[in-house]
Amino acid sequence: MEADLDTEHYARLTTARSRELGQELHLARKRANLKATTVAEELGWSAGKLSKLENGWRTTTSWDYGTLLGKLGADQRTRERVQRIASEQDVGQFVRAHADRLSDNLLCLTIHERAARTMHKYEPMVIPGLLQTEAYARAVMLAHEGLSEEELELLVAARMDRQSVLTGQHSPDTTFYIHEVALQVVVGGPRVMHDQMMRLAFMCGWSRLRPRVIPMAAGGHWVLGHAYNLMTFEKHTKPVAYAENDVSTVFAEEEVAIKRFESKSRQLAALALDAEQSLAMFSRWADIYDRRADSAVA
């Protein structure tokens, strides 16, 4: 049985990658319906070793990962995923491919959004996924070629489930920067857009949520080009940012990258309308789309 080092020491060493790896191991054990003490005892490990692995506080050898996954009866995809993450080096940035065309089911994304204490997120062309109505989300996803009805419903359900991060006692204090362009791009028709604008207006009253509009008058500032989300956490966990493209999400936690995203957040805050102005903008567009929907019916 090996001696356990101080937990506080290990907590300082966690990274986004090690936390993702630990959660993969934790989920594999939960799927096997086995207690941590039972698994550790049968492997001849200390309970502390398995706990630190599942919490991302330490790493181990490829042999140990293989032995643990074998004990848990993990399937081949889980084995390959864990071994791939375990073999990566912590260099401050890494990429995760979208297995389901969208990022909503990425484990690394969901565990960090749910652990975040603050988030600053920007979207230039569409309403952020965390704020979308179900009808808006479905209309966005319908644009993906080759989706079956079953796949579409699974993706919509994943997005709606992901939104639960914004509710509850421990929801993060979140600011969303939404470019005015996203309010004008019609997704799903006037009625869908009306309901989406009304949802945004309603969310302006949430205590830990601040939707802010970047007006067209902001011009072509460099910070407006790319979407991102910057997350901060409790002590001993460094900030993590991510940015999506069509096929993958890039995660970053190195100091230089985080300082760039912090600067971007400050500049977006300076460009954005305040709370009252943003609410007025959402309400105005809700009224516009309501009249367009009525005209279409008539």
pLDDT of residue 100: 73
Q: Is the domain of 68 the same as that of 136?
A: no
The CATH number of the domain holding residue 84 is 1.10.260.40
Q: What is the pLDDT of residues 225-279, one digit of tens each?
A: 999 999 999 888 999 999 999 899 999 999 999 999 999 999 999 999 999 999 9
The answer to whether position 1 is within a domain reads no
Q: Is the domain of 103 the same as that of 246?
A: yes
pTM: 0.88
The answer to whether position 231 is within a domain reads yes
In total, how many domains does the chain have? 2
Q: Is the domain of 138 the same as that of 283?
A: yes
What is the distance between the alpha carbons of residues 212 and 35, in angstroms, rounded to a whole number?
Answer: 45
Helix ranges (H only) for the chain are: 7-11, 16-32, 36-43, 47-54, 62-72, 76-87, 107-115, 134-142, 149-162, 180-184, 190-203, 255-271, 275-297
Token pair of 75, please? 């399937």
Instruction: Evaluate if residue 26 carries a pLDDT over 80.
Output: yes
Q: Which residues form the domain of 179?
A: 94-297
Token pair of 140, please? 């966005």
Instruction: Evaluate if residue 1 carries a pLDDT over 70.
Output: no
Which of 53, 90, 89, 52 lies closest to 69, judged by CA?
53
Q: Is the domain of 81 the same as that of 110?
A: no
Mean pLDDT for 155-178 is 94
Instruction: Evaluate if residue 223 carries a pLDDT over 80.
Output: yes
Q: Is the domain of 99 the same as that of 237?
A: yes
Higher pLDDT, 96 or 144: 96
Q: Is the domain of 77 the same as that of 205?
A: no
Instruction: Evaluate if residue 119 carries a pLDDT over 60.
Output: yes
Q: What is the mean pLDDT of the chain?
A: 92
Give the pLDDT band of residue 298 (cuts 50, 70, 90).
low
Domain boundary among 62, 90, 118: 90
The CATH number of the domain holding residue 290 is 3.30.870.10
Q: What is the pLDDT of residues 98-114, one digit of tens each?
A: 887 788 889 999 999 99
Crossing angle for the helix pair 62-72 and 36-43, to the nearest 10 degrees: 120
pLDDT of residue 92: 92
The CB density around residue 125, as the number of other CB atoms within 10 Å, is 10
The answer to whether position 130 is within a domain reads yes
pLDDT of residue 168: 83
Q: Is the domain of 127 the same as that of 59?
A: no
Higher pLDDT, 253 or 7: 253
Q: Is the domain of 51 the same as that of 172?
A: no
